[in-house]
A and B are shown apart, each in its own frame.
Chain A
Amino acid sequence: MTVELPVLKPADFASDQDVRWCPGCGDYAILAQMKKVMPNLGIPREKIVFISGIGCSSRFPYYMNTYGMHSIHGRAPAVATGLKCVRPDLHVWVITGDGDGLSIGGNHLMHAIRRNLDLNIVLFNNRIYGLTKGQYSPTSPLGKKTKSTPMGAIDNPLHPLSVAIGCECTFVARSIDTEIKHLGEVLTRAAKHPGTSFVEVYQNCHVFNDGAWAYAKERESKADTTLELVHGKPLIFGKNRDKGIRLNGMDPEVVELGKGVSEDDLLFHDEKAPEPSLAYLLSRMRHEDGFPEPIGVFRAVEAPQYDAMINDQVTQATNERGVGDIDKLFASGDTWDVA
């Protein structure tokens, strides 16, 4: 006899709590896509857990009718690690932001990624501290004037995907809050990836950093400022799809198609490349340097997962030595009897 799983709808994933992000916040779009993605994964709702840290994005678990924990600043990857080690059967998401994930929680993010736990990490990047009302974040550009940097930020920003790739992340992707179809597809792929998937979402904070991603979001400019990655296809972009990325030595360059440059001359995307060099190169392409910023899946490779391995060691030890016998263990080593 087979048990039919109830067919769930996005509304089934909405909790009974009022969503309290500012009206117009990019987080609403991400939440909506997440609710749409969930029913299609075929995972029972009770098997899904959202873990977050602190910040606007980290309120996310309260709005999902799944298991969840709104933990403490920066520590969500560590909380999720404990959870996933004990219960590898659960489908675990980590929701974080640029400050939470890359500043106070940078260490945990780095180590969760390098262990390749089967987690889905979504970093909402709005390049500002929103919940504390407008201080610069580790992704704010140099010179950014904020309440805490009245003369401009003087620290170099971090680039989330470069960090993730540097930690040997096995699934790295980027999307944009307003590109809802694309975002849904990326989240779906992240959910299905075995091992750590890391998704950066360009998210607009219209109260404290409005327009930070305007170049990548506006209808007129986005075709020229972003580039949708497709595995096995050449890197082509532009309103008329007449521009591409070519390798010049070790460096990418923007070229115009035609005029002696054919598609075959372009860099072809390979998300399955075992070496992360291509993904890293793509993560270094920045709007400010005249490049379109890639969106989509940068890297998707498979590697052993910590949560599986920690449990495999238990199985292996048990197979080799049998289920541990407490009485035998305590009486091992040198003992003596007192009558």
Chain B
Amino acid sequence: MATSAAVEKQVRTLDEATVRFCGDSGDGMQLAGTQFTNTSALVGNDIATFPDFPAEIRAPQGTLAGVSGFQVHFSSKDIYTPGDTVDALVAMNPAALATNLVDLRAGGILIVNSDAFESKGLDQAGYETNPLENDSLKNYRLYPVAMTKLTRAAVDGLELSQKEKDRCRNFFAMGLVFWLYDRPLEPTQRYIDDKFGKKPEIAQANTAALKAGYHYGETVEAINTQYHVPKAKLAPGKYTSIVGNTAVAYGLMAAARLSGKRLFLGAYPITPASSILEELARHKNFDVLTFQAEDEIAAMAATVGAAFAGAMAVTASSGPGIALKGEAMGLAVMTELPMVIVNVQRGGPSTGLPTKTEQADLYQAVFGRNGECPMPVLAASSPADCFDAAQEAWRIAVRYMTPVMLLTDGYIANGSEPWRIPKLSELKKIEIMHPGPSVNGDKFLPYKRDERLARPWALPGTAGLEHRIGGLEKQDITGNVSYDAANHQHMISLRATKVEKVVNDIPPQKLDGPPSGDLLVLSWGGTYGACATAVHNVQAKGKAVTHCHLRWLNPLPKDLGDILKRFKKVVIPELNLGQLRTIIRAKYLIDAVGLNKVQGKPFSVGEVVDKIEALLKGDAKDTEAKAEPIDKKAPAKAVLEKVAHGG
């Protein structure tokens, strides 16, 4: 690393910072964000990320619809969210500036590729005049950088087309931001060598652009301060940066190993769940079978078949796919076979917002099948937590012989955080019993239950246990088809009771804050980070508020009813219109208040803080989070107006 700065620069130490890279979806912003994240993790910061990209792979270049962004929050303290506002914004074109400026804090660093601010680009972004040339950006520390020209100069002489040369711009931007936040280039250099090893010209060009960006930061006089964010104090251990979907895949693989099973994944490609299929497909030498089915229905049906065959059977999808799987999930409930159904929730209904996050599939998970069709449901709270939640899902599935649904969401599926890598030997074994061959010729009773009401998992190939299962109502104990009225009522109750018994495996609910008081914040799933941070912020101001975050949504923890009664008010922040709130109100008859947001985005900490403070002041109405201006024709104008009004 070059250390001799040509210009005298100050170094300031910060507790934390948030950076966002944004540009056209072809500008490589996801890569820039990922590299910055990994490097920040490697230097020992705590991290939380928020990749945000359009559903279109390549919307028309330069348009507002095509803007892709990646936000990284890195810190020397524990953090749980990618940050409400941005300290430094890198905008590769006018459209990216127009759509992202709103999140840059006043006085924040704004680095723009000034070469992209020409008439066409400005026009597409809705700018009538060039914002770099008037004083509309005066509230920010604006650094216009001729990134296109500088990148071209850096790669000059390499045998590459103009297009290929320009594609290195994201590495220039990375290099500059790496300098700005005092990050090493080596991890990115390793990435380049690894990724482009077979294309040495491209590797060379990216390296040159990366270094040019870094040196530009070092030498250009305008940028006179470098920032340093020290290491975070994490628990001792070996760490890596992990995204939620990889953590799900790893958790499933660990669970398969811990239970001595082959892992079978039946899946159909769907955003934002596909990378679970892709990750598992890479690990066939772990006895992992991945079946890309012809559709979601087949993926679920094959999962049922694989469960019958004796594998650890899993399917992974998102809302629209889960809807298609509904009937086969009913078969799984009726046949009482263990399997895991992962729903990486996205914005709905219908196709909805495929690349955006939401928590609106809770009703679907708990109730969304025909008939009385109970299924245990749990939700992961963060990217790394997906690893534990996946194992937990399988443990419950086999203990109770039931399909289990694991909810995650687009935000934690794509977001990353540091993960303390466990040793396989530290993880709890998952015991599974299969009945052996019949020796005395007694008739096998496939629906005879143990104390948990779980039926035996008898595998095809076991002599003497031949039996037939299916979707028709079962006679208790024998499993034969039965249309008997009393038997149906009995079986419906049995299946419901069995799922309720899962509560015995749910540990007492943890509370963050006093055990009773004025206000309880009750949350579930991927909103953990925002809610935990908001509660900590309010607690730090000396106010009494308690946080209760649910892992299990069905059944709910045994002690939840008592906990709820100990608080005067309960607020439930959710990225839906109040689905957990409805369930809580119905089950515990308490008047819970909602904070509800359905904008395809996670909660900001500020939104939850505001709600908590309003409730502490006595305002007990349900609220919906405020949306940003929806006038997409002139967002730049709206943003400029907001800026002009000091927003």
Contacts and interface: CB of A to CB of B under 8 A. Distances in A.
B234 interface: yes
A51 interface: yes
Interface string A57-84: 0000110111111111101001111111
Interface in B455-502: 460-472, 480-481
Contacts of A90: 309, 460-461
B308 A69 contact: yes
Contact of B304 (A46, A82, A318): A82
Nearest to A91: B460
B335 A69 contact: yes
Contact of B310 (A45, A80, A87): A87
A322 B287 CA distance: 11
Contacts of B330: 72
B240 A333 contact: yes
B109 interface: no
Interface in A70-127: 70-73, 75, 78-87, 89-90, 107-108, 110-111
Given A321-B285, A330-B421, A46 B297 contact: no
B359 interface: no
A15 B446 CA distance: 14
A327 interface: yes
B461 A47 contact: yes
B264 interface: yes
Given A75-B328, A81-B305, A111-B298, A327 B424 contact: yes
B285 A314 contact: yes
Nearest to B335: A69
A62 to B, nearest CB: 5
Sorting the interface of chain B by its residue count into under 10, 10 to 19, 20 to 34 or 35 or more gives 35 or more
Nearest to B339: A82
A67 B468 contact: yes
A61 B470 contact: yes
Contacts of A334: 38, 41-42, 187, 190, 240-241
A219 to B, nearest CB: 37
B311 A318 contact: no
B238 A331 contact: yes
A240 interface: no
B334 to A, nearest CB: 9
A324 interface: yes
Contacts of B298: 75, 78, 81, 107-108, 111
A329 interface: yes
Given A317-B284, A337-B239, A338-B234, A79 B460 contact: no
A67 B308 CA distance: 10
Interface stretch (B288-296, B406-414, B546-554): B288-296
Contacts of A82: 264, 266, 291, 301-309, 313
Contacts of A324: 253, 283, 285-288
Contact of A17 (B38, B285, B466, B481): B481
B637 interface: no
A281 interface: no
Contacts of B289: 85-86, 310-311, 314
A331 B421 contact: yes
Given A17-B481, A90-B460, A335 B468 contact: no
B385 to A, nearest CB: 15
A41 interface: no
Given A69-B470, A85-B289, A86-B264, A47 B301 contact: no
Contacts of A73: 327
Contacts of B299: 78
Contact of A67 (B253, B284, B460): B460
Contacts of A314: 284-285, 287-289
B646 interface: no
Given A46-B460, A46-B466, A66-B466, A86 B262 contact: yes
B629 interface: no
A331 B240 CA distance: 7
B421 A335 contact: yes
Contacts of B469: 68-70
A72 B472 CA distance: 9
B285 A318 contact: yes
A335 B240 contact: yes
A104 B416 CA distance: 41
B468 A71 contact: no
B250 interface: yes
Contacts of A81: 291, 293, 298, 301-302, 305
Contacts of A71: 301, 304, 331, 470-471
A331 B241 CA distance: 10
Contacts of A234: none
A166 to B, nearest CB: 15
Contact of A79 (B240, B302, B422, B467): B302
A326 interface: yes
A192 to B, nearest CB: 20
Q: A-B pairs with the 4 shortest C-beta distances? A: A70-B470, A82-B305, A82-B302, A324-B286
14 contacts: A47-B460, A62-B468, A71-B301, A72-B327, A78-B294, A79-B302, A79-B304, A82-B301, A82-B302, A324-B283, A331-B238, A331-B421, A334-B41, A335-B240
Given A90-B460, A337-B239, 15 more contacts: A68-B470, A70-B470, A72-B301, A75-B298, A78-B294, A78-B301, A84-B305, A86-B289, A107-B294, A111-B298, A318-B285, A324-B253, A334-B241, A336-B42, A337-B238
